Structure formats: C-alpha cells, structure tokens
Amino acid sequence: MSKRDRAARAKGAPDAADSVVDDLETDLPSDDDAELRPQGKRSARGRRAAGDGGSSVAVAERKKDAPESASANPFVRIWTFLKEVVAELKKVIWPTRREMITYTIVVLAFVVIMTAFIAGIDIAFGKGVLWLFG
C-alpha cells in the first residue's frame, strides 16, 4: 500500500478499490521516504464522501458576484490593478547584465543564421524556377 493510500484511508476517504479516479491514476513508488507529489489530476473522493450520495460528476461551485462597491469606481480598480502589477514585477527574477548580453548575442546570431538560410533557399528556388521555366 502506498503512502498516498494510507493517508487517504486515515482521512476517512473510501477505499482505493471503490474510486473510479484511482483506476486512472498511476501509483507513486512505494518508498516510504518519497514525498507525495501532485499528479495534476483531480480526485473526486472528497466530493463523493461528503456529497449527495452517488454523483461522480465534478461540479464547480460558482462564486457570488463582487459587491457593487468594489466595482463602482473605475479609478480605484485601475489603481488596484497597477499596485498588483508592481507587486508581481517585484517577484520576477530579472537577468543580470552578463546574462542579458549573452541572451542578446544568442538571439542576434540566430537571426543572422536564419536570415542567411532563408536567403539561400530563396536564391536556390529562384535559380531553379528560372532554369525550369526559362
């Protein structure tokens, strides 16, 4: 039994044999020291255990609309948006000067090589068409 199955059983979820979702998921290695990692698949175990009985269809709950006071003033919304933009830009890991120079040189070299390649193909096709059709 894997560590994930033991954790699910301890939470009171149905047995792994009862779950349709577990049939589709691959099991993690049974190494006890391995961490549990998400596999990107949603499990309906919690919804079925606490849900209305037998529905295995996942239904997203709709959020209630924002109060009118939050969306009434467009200037407040713009100011909030700009503050969030600045906060997100502070989280960005910006490249150093040396990395930026390296990236720029790589991009310029790639553009020169691709331009020469496409020009060569263009000249070759042009000569081929002139040779074929005179």
Dump pLDDT digits (tens) for 68-98: 555 678 999 999 999 999 999 999 999 999 9
User: Model's pTM, two decimal places?
Assistant: 0.38
Say how many Å lie between the first and final Cα of the chain, rounded: 76
Q: Where are the alpha helices (DSSP H) in the chain?
A: 3-10, 20-24, 45-50, 68-71, 74-91, 97-133
Q: Report pLDDT for 30.
A: 53
Q: Report pLDDT for 41.
A: 62
Judged against a pLDDT cut of 70, whether residue 109 lies above it is answered with yes
Structural element, H or E, at residue 65: none
Cα–Cα dist 16/51, whole Å: 18
